[in-house]
Amino acid sequence: MGRAIVECVPNISEGRDLEKINRIVDSARIPGVKILGIEPDSDYNRTVITFAGNPDEVEKAAILLIQSAISEIDMRNHSGEHPRMGCVDVCPFVPISGVSMDECVRIAQRVAKEIGGLDVPVFMYGGAASDESRKSLSVLRKGEYEDLVHRFNGNSTIHGESTLLPDFGSKVWDDNSQKSGAITIGARDILIAYNVNVDEKSAVISKQIGSIVRSSGRLMKSSNKSNKFRTQGLLKHVQGMGVPLESHGISQVSMNLQHYHQTNLHHAYDVIASLATDMGGVAIGSEIVGLVPLDSMLEAGKWYADSEDLSDEELVNLAIEKLGLSSIHHFNPHERIIEWCLEGDDE
């Protein structure tokens, strides 16, 4: 694709009220932008929205969507299984074609300044972070929405000075900040949000596996808690945690595959399936949240293939089958693979 394409993947803190979700998404439906995915999750109480298009129009659409979310969502009434800090918990810009990471950083900075002008707290993360200590979303989000009051009042025991206050917008815990929570905007490479299902109602096994596979590993403390060290996780460039999925009577190892060329879908699935079996459980498929690059699916298909003569379509279908990607919701590759979604699109 020769034209410039930027992807934006805002995650909003609403996964149950479909009318509200649709109003927020509709605000981003402007010429030059294609809505690629809307994935609400009632357990997480979160919706992952994916859209792409011309950089200038994607920037406008992101501002309109965030403004709508600020109007529609009240974080004082929010609860869900997924960590979150604000009504738009995260809004990354991702270079897809003909666009550099530096350009996405500049888009993120302009959007953050615009939203900060609404007197709501805005953090920058990833490639747009103001310094190295603020790059990680999980670090910025530690303590979640509930700790923001302590951070704003200067008495949080969770964060150091470098991650305490927002980069733009309000730094006062007033009605505006309490309603919106903190919005996090950034730029990053393609990330795959990937969940492996485990056949257990509680998340006991999933939580154990999450702490074993995630790159940050486990924090180990001495009996008197005066000394500590961190183990190394099994998988590289992976964030992970175990959560219950009450609506389906199962649990999940919920992950972000941050560099899928090093740790891809099949790596994560097979390791987790093996660990689950060792712990007396069983992996029962998986799901991709949002969109996935074609080469990620092809590599997974090749891993499971018995023949080297399969077409791209056959490899993708094999990956869908072996990873159990339709175990919760039907996985349509022509709606979920980035390149196939954008084929023939001239918006």
Q: What is the rounded CA–CA span in Å between residue 303 and residue 296?
A: 11
115 three-class SS: helix
Q: Characterize the bridge pairing of strands 183-187 and 122-126.
A: parallel
Tokens 């999980």 map to which residue? Answer: 138
Give the amino acid at 229.
F
Is position 267 annotated as part of the catalytic site? no
Give the active site residue among 78, 82, 259, 329.
82
Rounded CA separation 253/79 (Å):
20
* Alpha-carbon gap, residue 172 to 170, rounded angstroms: 5
Number of other residues whose CB lies within 10 A of the CB of residue 181: 26
Q: Output phi, psi for 15, to 5 deg.
A: -130, 10
- Lookup: tokens for 284: 């029962």
What CA–CA distance (Å, rounded) separates 270 from 196?
10
Q: At 71, list the tokens.
A: 């109007």
- Residue 343: count of CB within 10 angstroms of its CB: 10
**92: which strand partners?**
186
Helix/strand/coil (H/E/C) assignment for every residue in 171-239: CCCCHHHHHHECEEEEECCCCEEEEEEECCCCCHHHHHHHHHHCCCCCEEECCCCCCEEECCCCCCCEE
Active site residues: 82
